Structure 1
Amino acid sequence: MRIAFLDSWLQDSSSGSGTAVAIGGLAEALIRRGHRVERLVPLGRWPRSLLLRRLWFNVTLPLRFRSGGRPGPYDLIVGFDIDGTLLSGSMSAPYVCSVKGVLAEEAQCERGLPRWMLTALSLLERRNARRAPLVLSTSRYCIDRIRFHYGVATERLVTVPEGIDLSLWQPTADPTALVDLDAARDPFTVLCVARQYPRKRVVDLIDAFAVVTAREPRARLVIIGDGPEHAALQRRLQDRGLQAQVRLLGALQEDAEVRRWYTRASVFCLPSEQEGFGIVFLEAMASGLPVVTTTSAAIPEVVPDGEAGLLVPPRDPHALAQALLRLMQDPDLRARLRECGRRHVRQYSWDRVADRFLEAVEPLVAQSSTTSCP
């Protein structure tokens, strides 16, 4: 099967966060199964604005297909989020809309210009989803929000979760080697990896860490990622007097360096109030890190509370601090959550996710093949 992925988002993981990782990971898993995947992306870096480049990509996208709406050589076309909104409903090839983040929901967690932009883009995502015969999304939470915001019928919605390359994050299955790896961790280092949008609530983690360091002076926090909130977080560190205890590293260009931080830390924390899935939670569990996060959105679907992590109410720095201190002070609890997380994450291997993707699209592809036969 030859598949087209329509993708105007950022292409590298350091700037594109989980979406870039997810689309690339699915493509590679499908290629390993013998399918041909072509990722149609913006040509060049013009316009310089990401928003305008994404819009221009979609305006010019029909020109990259044959006239009259014929799909050329593709057996399946997958448009991510807003991408393909001018194609959906008009192509003779099977068309699937894959919603990675429900923009109408994300907009509610933003403010100012970002909120206005996300709200405007959500109208395109709504059009894309409503015109597609099949809509995939990453969690039951997202499926529910798509129904609510975009009015898509339940029978056209299918959940296909995100995945992870376990060979990168679990380099060994040898129990002895894992014991040695975990013994080398700093029990007082907490890791946070996130594209820094307001909805990630990294500011709550910084506020919580002021409480943590007052009780445990050895505690250290490492924050990896860049984004609109980066400057505000730097100011928050200064206001809290935490420059010595918290390292705000920004975006790291080398994925291997990010993975090294996952092996150095003992706890992972991201207190988001809105997550359509959360690939970083898979990375943490696969790396052997117990997770501290919130009960918001899709997070409880990904991180079982009390099994792979400790979940607290959103926007509650005090509860966050108590959960972090509990893990720092209880090595047996860390070990139990670490072991559970490593087991739990296996269901999200890219091979299993690719199977679920193919199972979801197979009826649509089969129907198209039947109707196109003379």
Structure 2
Amino acid sequence: MPLRTAAFAVPGDLQTLTGGYIYDLRLLSGLRALGWDITHIPLGASFPDPSKEDMRNAAQQLAMVPPTAPVIIDGLAMGAMDHDVLTGMSAPIVALIHHPLAHESGLPQDTRDTLFRTERDNLALASHVLVPSPHTAGLLISDYDVPSDHITVARPGTDRPLGQLAKTQPPLILSVGIQVPRKGHDVLLRALAKVVDRPWQAVIAGSALDADHASLLLRLVDELGLSHRVRLAGRVSGEELARLYGQASVFALATRYEGYGIVFDEAMAHGLPIISCATGAVPETVAPGAGLLVSPDDHKAFANALAQVLDGHETRDRMATASKAAGAALQNWDGTTRLVADVLDRIAKDAQDDR
């Protein structure tokens, strides 16, 4: 069997427009472009709260992978997998942790505790762990007992914009993130309601993955009198998203936690001033001078930051310049893929030597 053979296990639909799925899809296609014979193992969409059927199916598929083919397992499954499923594998495991499951917002404490224990125990079985940011690496080292030499930080790549679009008037405030509590769109809406005396329009792009939260956001738009100013766009195509980035004047995401945040890189690639929250990996992802970061869950502070950028053209231009410079320096997806390919090469060779 060739050493450059591997598998990639991902729950749900790879075409889902979230940062984690975009990362997985680009990594899968990039590894294939580098000559890897990499099999996509589709796992059930019920992860990270798997049904018995999806768990059985995962066990069957993962057990069939040969012992010399590393298996990348996305964190949505890795952190929620039955321990016996992983110990039943003969192939070496490479965990891909976008952010720990126990750090999702709004979880009951017993669920959070269970996910923490499961993810910690499962990570101990991994030959190596891939993470998108130094923040997540530090968290896995300090809280999950993962040895530092078992972790590789593979920062997401960034595509450069094709051409330049005219900015819309009034200024477009763009937010990109799935409609779940962690993304803080409810905080953003409350902040926008405090700056209605300024000229602006806003679009929130992202799939409604949490139906209850999506309903809450719709109610808030109506209750706060923002129906004529804010569009909840839901899932948009890649072409539409690129157009929105190009037309926007400000990027705003009131996130409660990010293990990385590809959208910040996309905003910087388009030279957008960024308003977000000092949480998780956000402070190390948003370049100095490119953003204003406030405390999570503080809509008044977020509104003040919005007002500062909307009112101050010099401030906005200065932030945009810093953002554009940082975006131009970001690595592309080829760099990310080659870094991961080096990890797989080492794991595959070790597995071959152990036979």
TM-score (norm 1): 0.82
Secondary structure of the structure 1 residue equivalent to 2:94: strand
CA-to-partner distance for each residue in 1:270-302, whole Å, 9 max, x for gaps? 011210011111222222322111111100111
Is 1:110 the equivalent of 2:91?
no
Structure 1 residue aligned with 2:147: 153
Correspondence for 2:66: 72
Report Cα offsets for 1:122-179 as digits up to 9, x if no partner.
Answer: 4443332111121221222212322344322333222222223x15xx114xxxxx4x
In the alignment, structure 2 segments of 5+ residues that lack a partner are: none
- Distance in 1 (CA, whole Å) between partners of 2:154 and 2:176 is 23
- Count of residue correspondences: 344
Alignment partners' CA distance in 1, 2:170 and 2:317 = 11
Cα offsets for 1:168-208 (capped at 9, x unmatched)? xx114xxxxx4xx3x43436210111112212111111111
Match of 2:253 in 1: 270
Answer whether contact 1:77 1:94 (CA < 8 A) is retained: yes
Matched-pair contact (CA < 8 Å) for 2:287–2:322: no
The equivalent residue for 1:143 is 137
Of the three residues 206, 218, 226, the one matched with 1:242 is: 226
2:54 equivalent to 1:57: yes
Q: Distance in 2 between matches of 1:50 and 1:249?
A: 26
Q: Which residue of structure 1 aligns with residue 298 of structure 2?
A: 316
Match of 1:221 among 194, 199, 202: 202
**Gaps in structure 1 of 5+ consecutive residues:** 173-177
1:333 to 302, 305, 315: 315
Q: Percent identity?
A: 27
TM-score, scaled to structure 2? 0.86
8 A Cα contact 2:76 2:101, kept in partner: no
Residues 37-90 of structure 1 show CA distances to partners (whole Å, capped at 9, x for unaligned) of 2211037x8xxx56666653342234235xxx5733863211111536455455
The Cα offsets for residues 207-231 of structure 1, whole Å up to 9 and x where unpaired, read as: 11112113x1x22111122232111
Contact 1:42–1:53 (CA<8 Å) still a contact in 2?
no
Q: Which residue of 1 aligns with 2:25?
A: 24
One-letter code aligned to 2:32? I
Structure 2: distance between partners of 1:256 and 1:74: 39
Partner AA of 2:222 in structure 1: Q
Question: Matched residue of 1:7: which SS?
Answer: strand
Paired residues of 1:2 and 1:35 also in contact (CA < 8 A): yes
Question: What is the aligned counterpart of 1:125 among 99, 105, 119?
Answer: 119
Separation in 1, partners of 2:234, 2:130: 32
Change (3 A) 1:245 1:185: closer
Sort the Cα spacing of 1:36 and 1:137 in 2 relative to 1 into closer, same or farther, 3 A. same
Which amino acid letter does the alignment assign opposite residue 236 of structure 1? Answer: L
Q: Distance in 1 between matches of 2:16 and 2:317?
A: 29
State the superposition RMSD in angstroms: 2.6
Matches of 2:195 and 2:119 in 1, distance apart? 41
CA pair 124-9 structure 1, distance change in 2 beyond 3 A = farther
Q: Which has the higher helix share?
A: 1
Match for 1:311: what amino acid? L
